[in-house]
Amino acid sequence: MLKKGLPSPYIMLVLAPLFWATSNVTGKLGKGWLTPYEMTFFRWFLATLILSFFARKFIRQDWAQLKQHWLWLFVVGGSGFALFNIILYSAFSLGASVVNVSIITALIPFGVICFSAFIYKDQPHILQWLGIAIAFMGVIWVLTQGQPWVLAQYNFAIGDALALVTTGIYIAYSLALRHAPKIHWASMMWAMSLAGLVVAAPFYAYDLAHNGLHFPDWRGWLMLLYIAVFISIISKLFYMESVIQIGANRAALAMNFLPVFGAVMGVLFFKDEVMSINHLIALGLVVIGIVCSEYGAALKRRPLPERAGAY
């Protein structure tokens, strides 16, 4: 069933991590073209510019609501859109490995469901906990190539610590969407993209002061356009609307698709990447985990049958 002209949240929760996975491809293809600050600033500049044109009707329509909720939009958009990207790009520049960062990112579903239980007193069904655990094992399986015991050998450096900060930011972002203002998705995306641009601007100014003015070539702009449309706007929109429609606990589980999709993208775009049985096993575990968790969520929502003769 379509809502607000968008696909089902379950379709969006598959497409969102699929688009996020292409971010690794663009990062590898565009290595050396842009600094982390340039990448963040220009992606939100283009996203804001695009939405300012296509969403202008809804921006005018929701202007009063946008002004009323400007602080929420600025904090959530600035942190979830700009700070997340800046810190993550900086983590890679400081030597964080893709494997370690992916493992840390896989903690997001655990964090969302745990903090929801603590802050909002949510009581997830036991099958939701089990589903999260199974999906997380799928992530660990593909990242360790079927040898989960090697996790004990990883040493987490400063770059990995920064990746842990981004995980905390996205957990908070997911939980904050519970309080999103009731406005059209297009005007909300515009406001949050603008917040991301405003937050990214001082970092870009710092980069200009130290490295001078630099504009990407046509390849860089083409990559930025793709990032702005599909990664910055569409994937963010899909995840945001899914959280609003079905809740952070259930939506965050889709983050487990990210490392698996990333491995598939590597095989498709780079000759040095190969598909193995471990990828198929991991994908199967993730799918089983999501089905298990969703079944538990359905059982939790189902009303208890009335007993005969009950008062």
Can you give the pLDDT at residue 305? 38
Q: Is the dihedral of CA 51, 53, 54, 55 positive or negative?
A: positive
> pLDDT per residue over 198-252, tens digit each?
999 999 999 999 888 777 778 788 888 998 899 888 988 888 888 888 877 677 6
> pLDDT per residue over 25-52, tens digit each?
776 666 677 888 888 899 899 999 999 9
Distance in angstroms (rounded) separating the CA atoms of residues 251 and 248: 5
- pLDDT reading at 273 higher than 70: no
150-154: average pLDDT: 68
- pLDDT reading at 294 higher than 50: yes
Higher local confidence (pLDDT), 65 or 245: 65
Distance in angstroms (rounded) separating the CA atoms of residues 69 and 42: 25
Instruction: Record the tokens describing residue 258, joined without a space.
Output: 């990210």
Residue 262 to residues 14, 28, 111, 204, 222, Cα–Cα distance (Å): 13, 12, 21, 28, 21
Instruction: Indicate the pTM of the whole model.
Output: 0.77
133-145: average pLDDT: 75
